[in-house]
Chains A and B, each alone.
Chain A
């Protein structure tokens, strides 16, 4: 029992409610929300140290022992993602001081962000399937409001699609919860894992797992991603950065958690399916990224392609690949947020989202150009940056298992993403300046300052990959051996 486990959920929730009452005091709102997100970072670091020294932390809500009550479980995997999410949120909030117009700020922007973060952290920490659904809904509800906040025509159009898709997948989620409860009589993740290990993963349970795969794939953008590029491009940069960094990753986390902890018996069926979907996602996402000329759409397809890449690791599911998946997931959260934030500045500087109408930004804001280049190289996985270790481990893991097609898809993806991002760099930053906007420069320097911490982080994470690796190892240990997780939940 450790009461700190609930803090990453409670702090944003409390802040969000507090901010509703202060919605006209902009300065106060900004500082409270930044402080609260920094507090969350501190709590996440504190939890990570605790997990490192004393093992998995659990909290039985209202003292009901598992499997009867809801249990929150902070293992290394969850805590690392909570930490990455908190850091990304803090930077995006700082960025939105300048990057979001006052009208949006006044209309509960900060409250909605904090509600969303509560949902995201809750999804990472919960140890109960239905509670996962509730946290998903909390996150999605606030994301519906965030994506439409501002109310332009384009936002309405995209939001309607986005809501419909997510309502449908949530419905299927409840249906699969119902089937699982009918089949096993429990919803606690650890208990589900035990029950299914005892009774064997029979045909019906495999079918339910496929239903859950569909649900989480829609949320993660794995293969069922047709809604993603449009809707992530609709809101302002700070909001799309949060979406691109966090929402799909929560779906990915749920996929990894359920398919390593519960449904790991019928690997030929489920993991084969995941592998096929992952390769298809990589190919479609990669081609999508290459074919687009809209900055936000290119980045949307980039998000999809890296989700495909992480799912490759899940399909392979050996120790190296999962360690790589944890590393890559943390890296991807940070770098995708950074890319969306920088693209937001780029769009503000040039006044257009089309890359063939941009040009020459490098001459009047060189810092933006070089930061964008470094971020692109990190996505691709050039060695000193943070994309490299994760990518190396995943490809190494797939080669160890003799899955050469998977490894080839991973390498192919790298080339396509490199091409799509360098295209932005060449067309956007080189050449003659089309619309010099000197007046804008002061504004964007402050925005660049807010994205700088993420930039530092991807460099540090790449250079100091060795000292970080034990944490990833700890996370991968739990993913490869479910009994550690089960024992931690049922220890008392």
Chain B
């Protein structure tokens, strides 16, 4: 029976996660574009407006989720594109490490900025 658990492969999980994040991103990206280009115009953005939006807890959480899923979806896409080109062995491990570090840095920085925009972590 233990063998069955080992049949769970990283390839399949990443594939599924890529699809699941895709479904979320369809809505998140469409919402984001619509809100910040058509409802609020990009050239009118001021810090106060951003802060007002970020102080809505639902919006704040959506944006954090948007950041995390988009980073995963994008970086995993890049990684797969490279594997499809025949990236193997040590270069592949190095690339994976770089991509993971870049993703963590991006998500960390993004969350920090979001908290700053919100004006602290207060609810």
Is A bound to B? Answer: no
Measuring CB to CB, which residues of chain B are less than 8 angstroms from any residue of chain A? Answer: none
Q: Name A residues whose Cβ lies closer than 8 Å to a Cβ of B.
A: none
